Amino acid sequence: MSSKDLTVGSIPHHVRDLTLPASIGLFFQTMYNTVDTYYAGAHSKTALAAVGFSFPVFLLIIAASSGLSRASAGLISNALGAKNEANKNRYIAQGMSIGLFLSAVLVIIGLTVSQPIFKTMGADGELLRLAQAYIQPIFLGTGFFIFASLCNAILSSDGDTKTYGIVLVIGFFLNLIFDPWFMKGGLGIPALGVAGIAWATVLIQFFGCVFLLWTVWRRGLLDLSEPKAFVPDLVTWREIVWQALPATFNLISISISFFTINLFLKHFGESAIAAYTATIRIEQVALIPTFGLYAAIMALVGQNNGAQKYDRIYQTMRWCAGIGVGAASFMAGLMFIFSPQLMRLFTDDKEVIHLGVICLTIIAPILWTYILSATHIAMLQALKRPAYGFFEAITRKVILPIPILWLLIIYFNKDIDWIWYCNAGINLVMTAVTVFYARSVLHRLANETNSQTVGGSASESTT
């Protein structure tokens, strides 16, 4: 099957065609996570806190799969734009071999370190038991997460975000059935409690992974006729890993940030941690435009970078930034106005609701900063300039918040509001830095290409 050429045609139409299916699918994926949070909260406040404690550990899998997926998407889309079929096939095959190796490593590491991490975060007793019961099945299904994400990278680079979106929609509806069934038992399944939520996720990921692998193979994007192509090639591995590491660390840093904030939230009790867990889910729903636009940028900027059509990259970023900020502003307004009602979807505990409302009303006005940062970091990834993502992640989520929160909460004994004010201020500053840097990189690449074109034309004219 021929690839969709994103180096020609209307940019607004391409943005629409790539963003809408991805956003719809990711909306249902976020609602999928919300369903998990709802059933955990219905089980008990401790179960909800356990899922919250598991989130930073779960992010190890998400970070690894997303990092590899983003690296593969960037390299494959650049190869497609340059019309280099050999490179496209090489990146796909070697991405798969890295995925297999990574899956095995993460299963071993995850099952070994999860309990010590939970204890370091302050979990003990029933909270520790429930957190372990939830995370262990998740790690056993690591391979399904990674290969599903890789297949999505291949398809989206090829201009198809619909297939993965459909998989996510179906997964959501399956989760509505599997979560209560596996938690409470029935039809031969024992009552698994919180672990049932995790096993439901693993089973749904398995179904999605098998379908996506079959789709990629059926379309001729995954060639299984030459097994040698999947033998590790260290040169290609290094190229992919170099692109993947900043994106992986960017997501791991979310885990570090979550860990850090939970350490400070412990001073305000279990209700504060439960409230934060619920607000994270609400923010994820509000930030869905970021995820859809990310897929569009990776495909459009990647292919046009490969073809050295920088005018189309400028146009892509103008459209994506405008759509993203507009959508974020609308969602932020809803989040601000309906914050009490949104919190009541997760719990009827008055203290948890009160603390969650405080967080949401402080974060809502700066929601647009997440959109601008994410879209410009996606552009850098697609330009094969991913290193800034590491600097941005470690600065925004580690270097700045830890000392500032220590001063505010421990030294000056400020109340919980200041955790959210700190987060908002840091995001404003880092968004400004990110946008400035990303645009300067794009300007430099465009000017270098123009200079080479002019120089080449001058040489031809003199001969």
Q: Has residue 54 got a pLDDT over 80?
A: no
Other CB atoms closer than 10 Å to residue 398's CB: what's the count? 14
Other CB atoms closer than 10 Å to residue 51's CB: what's the count? 26
User: Which band of pLDDT confidence, cut at 50, 70 and 90, is reported for residue 458?
Assistant: very low
Q: Has residue 74 got a pLDDT over 60?
A: yes
Q: Has residue 53 got a pLDDT over 80?
A: no
Reduced to 3 states, what is the DSSP secondary structure of residue 131? helix
**Helix, strand, coil fractions of the chain, as percent rounded to 5:** 85, 0, 15
- Under 8 Å between Cβ of 36 and 176: no
User: Which band of pLDDT confidence, cut at 50, 70 and 90, is reported for residue 3?
Assistant: low
Average pLDDT over residues 442-457: 77
- Per-residue pLDDT at 1: 45
Q: Has residue 456 got a pLDDT over 70?
A: no
- Under 8 Å between Cβ of 176 and 35: yes
Cβ burial of 122 (10 Å; 0-12, 13-18, 19+) is middle
Rounded to two decimals, the pTM is: 0.81
Q: Taking Cα atoms as reference points, which of 161, 162, 175, 176 lies closest to residue 204?
A: 175
- Under 8 Å between Cβ of 146 and 114: no
Q: Has residue 321 got a pLDDT over 70?
A: yes
Average pLDDT over residues 245-266: 80
Q: Taking Cα atoms as reference points, which of 195, 180, 119, 108 lies closest to residue 143?
A: 108
User: H or E segment at 389?
Assistant: helix 387-394
